[in-house]
Structure 1
Amino acid sequence: MGESRTGEPEASRLGKFSWAMFDWANQPYFTVVTTFIFAPYFTSFVASTPAQGQAYWGYTQAAAGILIALLSPVFGSIADAGGARKPWIVFFSIMCAVGAFALWWAVPGQQSGIIWILIAIVIGTIGVEFSLVFNNAMLPNLVPQSKMGRLSGFGWGLGYIGGLIALFIVLLGFSMPAEPLFGLDKATHEPDRITGPMAAVWLLVFIIPMLLFTPDTKPTGISKRVAIKQGLTSLASTLRTLGNYKNIVFFLIARMFYNDGILALIGFSGIYAAGLFGWETTQLGIFGILIIIFAIGGCFVGGWLDDKIGSKPTIVISVLGLSFASIGVLSISHGQVLFGLPAAMPVEGGGLFASPAEMVFMGFAFIMGLFFGPAQAASRTLIARLSPPDKVGEFFGLFALSGKATAFVAPLTIGIVTTATGQQRPAMIVIFILLLIGAALMSFVREPEH
């Protein structure tokens, strides 16, 4: 056992595994709620039209992104001053669970009271994202710098496995059986709506190992009021002297663009497929399972690659791969693929993903799956390697800001363009542009040797 990057003793194997379990705990929220099941259900059945639903969803993600961008550095700085991260993780995990549980009341064709569903989506998203800030900030305390890539990649991979199992539960337990578990009513889409409460319970249960077995940063012993004051003072000082951290600033600006593109690609690919092909819960769930299987392999290989060749090359390769996949998805429209080649659309009674248009879409989706995890896991590793040990929480807060400061731009632009055109496809070009800009800006980043 060696020392972690912050000088603490390296965590035990159980401690490291339990830290990675937090990715397992939170991933179903992203997998079954914001990506493959609830989000497409919301856009297709809760809102009056898919285009209106996509616009609403874009606005919720924009609102959450703005709040996360403004407050993440503040909370990260306060946590650095106070030391311990776990109390913050518990608070924001409960907040996420409350928002997720409320999604049960998103009934089909809902117009009266839909604002409360939109608020619940914002609350859940803010909670899960803030909890990630503090969990990510624990990484440098657990392992030496040379092992951070593998642990980060392992966490992402474990998270995708958790998401995969959650999808299987939704499909095999709720969606596909003629009589779903717990007597859920398919006519009122209860198998889709149950994903919110399910993600809430999953999160609260599976954060327990991290709370019990993963070593936390030692409390500084100062009161919360003093920690808040010191944290805000430290953040103000860091912001005034950002010129001393130019390398980190270049990275955060690059990530601002490519992460915005990645989040939009993850969030809207299922929504786009549901609108284009008429996919329902079963097809979307199987689509998600296949994507995640590719993502799991990508995470474990990406974690090894991260420690082998470095975080920066791993990020650039992954973002370029996602750029290629996004333009491939963009090339598919009704009856056409690759910007003009005729391709038959699905017909009633046809096999699963059997139409030529669906096959091409799935091919590009598999490429997406391979590169989602490595891009995000290597980003987490790189900021951990670049951050000063006494400002880890603060810079992970700025890291969250870089992921959210412009994160509202893509959903907001997609919402506006979708509203203006009444179509889902034109707005997808935004994703491709953001990914390319982010990859180009990574050329200014210098990674320290490890």
Structure 2
Amino acid sequence: MTTATTGDAPDLRASTMRRRIWGWFFFDWASQPYNTLLITFIFAPYVKELIGDGAVAQTAWGFGIAAAGIVIALLAPVLGALADTGGSRMRWIWLFSLMYVAGSGMLWFAAPGDFNLVLTLIFFALGLIGMEFATIFTNSMLPDLGPREQIGRISGNGWAFGYVGGLITLVLMLVFFAESAATGKTFVGLTPLFGLDPEMREGTRFVGPLTAIWYAVFMIPFFVFVRDPRAGPAPKGAVKRALSGLQSTLKSLPKTPSLLAYLASSMFYRDALNGMYAFGGIYAAGVLGWSVVDTGIFGILAIVSGAVFAWLGGMADTRFGPKPVITVCIVILTGVAVSIVLVSRDSVFGVAQAPGSTLPDLIFYALGALIGAAGGVIQSASRTMMVRQANPGRMTEAFGLYALSGKATSFLAPMLIGVATWVSGSQQFGVSPLIGLFVIGLVLLLWVKPDGDRAA
């Protein structure tokens, strides 16, 4: 029987760490279709088609996502605190994964002729809450995957890998399933697979089950390769200690001004970005008259841009640190938000367009590429920044607060858009609150120290 030499041990540890990192990447790969297919590019435009009126659809979508955001805001920090004192994080990821699969799978029942908007939004919210809560626990594992100087690269690579997963599912939907309401054919002229009925929009409705199946299959590498160092059962009194610790953390936030400023800044700019994602598809469907297939093609461009720039952004994060990367991205996204309001079928930046002009479509494609690029980079850099700002001993609780900062006002962007759209009757004016949210986030970022309060 042979034994490993001393030189073999580092190789074995490195191999184990590589498997853990790739396993962790697979959460982004598995979960990204909820954002890509359901929130933005396939299901949201489909809901607009069922409702008919773009402004009404945008209002309903805004209020529905706002309701889910309130639930996430209330529970996210508590769950994060509990995980820091309550044993293994894996059991929580299992629980919220089941919610993700159940919520997305049930969207199959959003059928034309028998469409129940309230029930559809409930199922959508169930899956969304599952995804967000699972993300809290997987994000908190990031510091365990490598040395501090490599965290930015790992985060960026994971985000890029997730974008590729979203891209593949979007292409699958467009080529094999999502049918045009006019022709009953997919983007390449095929009848939806598996005998799905185009008249009942079963190809497009398959987006829910596909999202659920994709997640269930590709979370297998995550559960096989990722090991939680805190794998034991929850100790006695964990809930009480968690809530007490959370209360102490919240009270001590003013003593960590950089962390407080970052949480406040990210609360606004991530809310604005999520608003862009949530309303991009439904906006294009209503303002430009795009079909589900048109919006899907727009999505491919945005995702490819997002994947490439998330990878490049990870390298920039490693070289320059996350703060300048985040700053540049906010400036770009603010410009995009202003541009979106000024682009319609009849006018581009105040210049009237002739009937049938393709310039509005081309401009919107370019804006989509910018959203994908800056959005992917800023989300990756944001979780790297959280690692720099947080107390290493309470990392999951910190990511619970990070989720809170992203979700405490997560109802704000959709609600403001819903109210502005309802009051004005205009989808264009309805998205204008995003501009103000980005500007507030940029101003608050001025008080954030690149290496957190420990650098003071």
When the two structures are superposed, what TM-score results if normalisation uses the length of structure 1?
0.93
Mapping for residues 160-199 of structure 1, pairs under 5 Å: 160-175=163-178, 176=186, 177-199=189-211
Match of 1:357 among 351, 360, 377: 360
Match of 2:249 among 222, 238, 247: 238
Does residue 104 of the first structure (1) align with residue 104 of the second (2)?
A: no
Aligned AA (1:259): R
Match of 2:37 among 18, 26, 32: 32
Aligned to 1:51: 55
Does residue 23 of the first structure (1) align with residue 33 of the second (2)?
A: no
Output one character per residue of 1:363-406: Cα deviation in whole Å (capped at 9) or x when no partner. 22222221011111000011112211111010100000000111
Output one character per residue of 1:168-193: Cα deviation in whole Å (capped at 9) or x when no partner. 10011113143210111222221221
Aligned to 1:351: none
Aligned AA (2:206): I
Match of 1:318 among 304, 323, 329: 329
SS in 2 for 1:34: helix
Contact persistence 1:85–1:138 (CA under 8 A): no
Match of 1:341 among 351, 370, 376: 351
State the Cα distance separating 1:11 from its structure 2 match.
Answer: 5.8
Does residue 423 of the first structure (1) align with residue 426 of the second (2)?
A: yes
Match of 1:229 among 240, 262, 268: 240
SS in 1 for 2:450: coil
Contact persistence 1:277–1:345 (CA under 8 A): no
Aligned AA (1:268): F
Q: Could you tell me how far apart the structure 2 residues matched to 1:193 and 1:279 are?
A: 18
Q: Could you tell me how far apart the structure 2 residues matched to 1:103 and 1:126 are?
A: 15
Q: Could you tell me how far apart the structure 1 residues matched to 2:16 and 2:444 are?
A: 35
Evaluate the alpha carbon distance shift between residue 182 and residue 421 of structure 1 in structure 2; reply closer, same or farther with a 3 A threshold.
same
Q: Unaligned 5+ residue runs, structure 2?
A: 1-6, 8-12, 179-185
Q: Could you tell me how far apart the structure 1 residues matched to 2:376 and 2:281 are?
A: 17
Evaluate the alpha carbon distance shift between residue 38 and residue 88 of structure 1 in structure 2; reply closer, same or farther with a 3 A threshold.
same
Evaluate the alpha carbon distance shift between residue 365 and residue 396 of structure 1 in structure 2; reply closer, same or farther with a 3 A threshold.
same
Aligned to 2:97: 93
Q: Could you tell me how far apart the structure 1 residues matched to 2:397 and 2:14 are?
A: 22
Contact persistence 2:175–2:190 (CA under 8 A): no
SS in 2 for 1:396: helix
Mapping for residues 47-446 of structure 1, pairs under 5 Å: 47-110=51-114, 113-175=116-178, 176=186, 177-219=189-231, 221-223=233-235, 226-338=237-349, 340-344=350-354, 346=356, 355-446=358-449
Aligned to 1:42: 47
RMSD of aligned alpha carbons: 1.9
Contact persistence 2:54–2:283 (CA under 8 A): no
State the Cα distance separating 1:261 from its structure 2 match.
Answer: 0.6
Output one character per residue of 1:132-159: Cα deviation in whole Å (capped at 9) or x when no partner. 0000000011111101101111111011
Q: Could you tell me how far apart the structure 1 residues matched to 2:14 and 2:237 are?
A: 28
Aligned AA (2:248): S
State the Cα distance separating 1:109 from its structure 2 match.
Answer: 4.8
Evaluate the alpha carbon distance shift between residue 256 and residue 109 of structure 1 in structure 2; reply closer, same or farther with a 3 A threshold.
farther
Aligned AA (1:440): V
SS in 1 for 2:427: coil
Contact persistence 1:345–1:357 (CA under 8 A): no
Q: Could you tell me how far apart the structure 1 residues matched to 2:87 and 2:118 are?
A: 38
Evaluate the alpha carbon distance shift between residue 345 and residue 150 of structure 1 in structure 2; reply closer, same or farther with a 3 A threshold.
farther
Contact persistence 1:345–1:355 (CA under 8 A): no
State the Cα distance separating 1:9 from its structure 2 match.
Answer: 9.1
Does residue 12 of the first structure (1) align with residue 17 of the second (2)?
A: yes
State the Cα distance separating 1:215 from its structure 2 match.
Answer: 2.4
State the Cα distance separating 1:222 from its structure 2 match.
Answer: 3.8
Q: Could you tell me how far apart the structure 2 residues matched to 1:144 and 1:191 are?
A: 45
Q: Could you tell me how far apart the structure 1 residues matched to 2:209 and 2:113 are?
A: 20
SS in 1 for 2:65: helix
User: Larger deviation: 66-75 or 50-59?
Assistant: 50-59
Q: Could you tell me how far apart the structure 2 residues matched to 1:110 and 1:380 are?
A: 41
Q: Could you tell me how far apart the structure 2 residues matched to 1:383 and 1:9 are?
A: 25
Contact persistence 1:10–1:143 (CA under 8 A): no
State the Cα distance separating 1:116 from its structure 2 match.
Answer: 1.1
User: Larger deviation: 190-199 or 251-260?
Assistant: 190-199
Contact persistence 2:89–2:230 (CA under 8 A): no
Contact persistence 1:345–1:358 (CA under 8 A): no
Aligned AA (1:160): Y
Q: Could you tell me how far apart the structure 2 residues matched to 1:63 and 1:217 are?
A: 35
Identity rate of aligned residues, in percent? 39
Aligned AA (2:311): F
Aligned AA (1:217): P
Q: Unaligned 5+ residue runs, structure 1?
A: 2-7, 347-353
Q: Could you tell me how far apart the structure 1 residues matched to 2:88 and 2:347 are?
A: 54
State the Cα distance separating 1:245 from its structure 2 match.
Answer: 2.1
Evaluate the alpha carbon distance shift between residue 79 and residue 345 of structure 1 in structure 2; reply closer, same or farther with a 3 A threshold.
farther
Contact persistence 1:97–1:204 (CA under 8 A): yes
Contact persistence 1:10–1:144 (CA under 8 A): no
Evaluate the alpha carbon distance shift between residue 345 and residue 293 of structure 1 in structure 2; reply closer, same or farther with a 3 A threshold.
farther
Contact persistence 2:70–2:408 (CA under 8 A): yes
Q: Which aligned runs of 4 or more in structure 1 are off by greater than 3 angstroms? A: 8-11, 219-223
Contact persistence 2:285–2:292 (CA under 8 A): no
Aligned AA (1:236): Q
SS in 2 for 1:35: helix
